[in-house]
């Protein structure tokens, strides 16, 4: 049986650079607020579309090691980090994956937390890798990220609980929602509200109980996200001052 040639992170990066689209890069830089003072300050884009990135992931994820994927995850270009995370997700969700392999991938994720530094990178990866790993191994470890005082690690801790929610386990999401209820950043308000909404889809009473207790002190964005799927009369009730 022929051995498949392993691809390096540098080889993938070379292919990414061949697809540079300066107009798209400029638009994405604006969208992800890379200007001074923006939440994505200093991030760099090549201008690849999501379908282009997904095509590269599909092409290479079987033939790149976790170690080489980490090199991409540390790259200065946003698309390289996005592709690295998507590759790790594909590796993590293999049908035949050992606990050792899962630990290796989770370790790579946690070692490189500072490079998972925008909301799209967090949102595509947190439930599928570290959410699953925390749920099955050390659910309390998410609090290390929650208490980090780093916006992206805080968001990872919340979004990771989507994996919990999909298994009808809501306590961590609710505890984090209370913990972050006075958070100053709109991106955390949106993340918490989104997870509360997802919990409500599974069990409306869980959401109603939380809202009855906290809706008067919730940031308005968090509240709007949380109640988005509720009946209109309920939305008006909770949004009423």
Between the CA atoms of 178, 182, 184 and 190, what dihedral angle is there, to the nearest 10 degrees? 40
Residue 217: HSE in the Cβ half-sphere, 13 Å Cα cutoff? 10
Q: Which two tokens stand for residue 46?
A: 């090549």
Is 23 within a domain? yes
Mean pLDDT, consecutive 10-residue segments, the chain of 241 residues?
74 96 96 95 96 96 95 97 98 91 96 95 97 94 95 97 98 98 97 98 97 96 97 93 60
Residues 163-179 as b/e (b if ≥16 CB within 10 A, e otherwise) read bbbeeeebebbbebbeb
Is 34 within a domain? yes
Contact 215, 196 (CB under 8 A): no
pTM (two decimals): 0.93
Is 12 within a domain? yes
pLDDT digits (tens, 9 = 90+) for 48-57: 999 999 999 9
Q: Looking at residue 129, what is its pLDDT?
A: 96
Task: Give the residue from 239, 240, 181, 172 showing the smallest Cα distance to 206.
Answer: 172
Q: Looking at residue 222, what is its pLDDT?
A: 98
Is 60 within a domain? yes
Q: Looking at residue 5, what is its pLDDT?
A: 75
3-class DSSP state of 77: strand
The CATH number of residue 110's host domain is 1.25.10.90
Domain count, the chain: 1
Is 236 within a domain? no
Q: Which two tokens stand for residue 2?
A: 């022929």
Rounded to a whole number of angstroms, the distance between the first and last alpha carbons of the chain is: 69
Q: Looking at residue 1, what is its pLDDT?
A: 41
Classify residue 139 by its DSSP letter.
G
Is 193 within a domain? no
Contact 198, 165 (CB under 8 A): yes
Is 98 within a domain? yes
Range of 90's domain? 1-125
Q: Looking at residue 4, what is its pLDDT?
A: 61
Is 232 within a domain? no
């Amino acid at each position: 049986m022929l051995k498949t040639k392993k691809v390096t992170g540098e080889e993938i990066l070379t292919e990414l650079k061949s697809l540079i689209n300066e107009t798209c890069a400029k638009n994405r830089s604006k969208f992800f607020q890379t200007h001074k003072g923006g939440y994505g300050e200093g991030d760099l884009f090549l201008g690849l579309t999501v379908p282009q990135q997904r095509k590269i992931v599909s092409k290479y994820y079987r033939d790149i090691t976790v170690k080489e994927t980490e090199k991409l995850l540390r790259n200065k270009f946003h698309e390289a980090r996005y592709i690295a995370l998507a590759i790790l997700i594909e590796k993590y969700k293999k049908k035949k994956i050992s606990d050792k392999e899962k630990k290796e991938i989770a370790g790579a994720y946690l070692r490189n937390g500072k490079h998972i530094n925008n909301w799209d990178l967090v949102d595509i990866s947190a439930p599928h890798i570290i959410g699953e790993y925390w749920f099955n191994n050390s659910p309390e470890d998410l609090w290390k990220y929650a208490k980090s005082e780093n916006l992206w690690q805080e968001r990872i801790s919340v979004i990771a609980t989507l994996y919990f929610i999909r298994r009808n386990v809501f306590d961590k999401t609710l505890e984090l929602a209370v913990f972050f209820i006075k958070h100053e950043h709109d991106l955390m308000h949106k993340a918490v509200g989104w997870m509360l909404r997802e919990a409500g889809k599974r069990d409306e009473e869980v959401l109603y109980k939380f809202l009855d207790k906290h809706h008067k002190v919730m940031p308005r964005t968090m509240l709007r996200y949380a109640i988005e799927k509720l009946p209109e009369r309920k939305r008006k009730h909770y949004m009423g001052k």
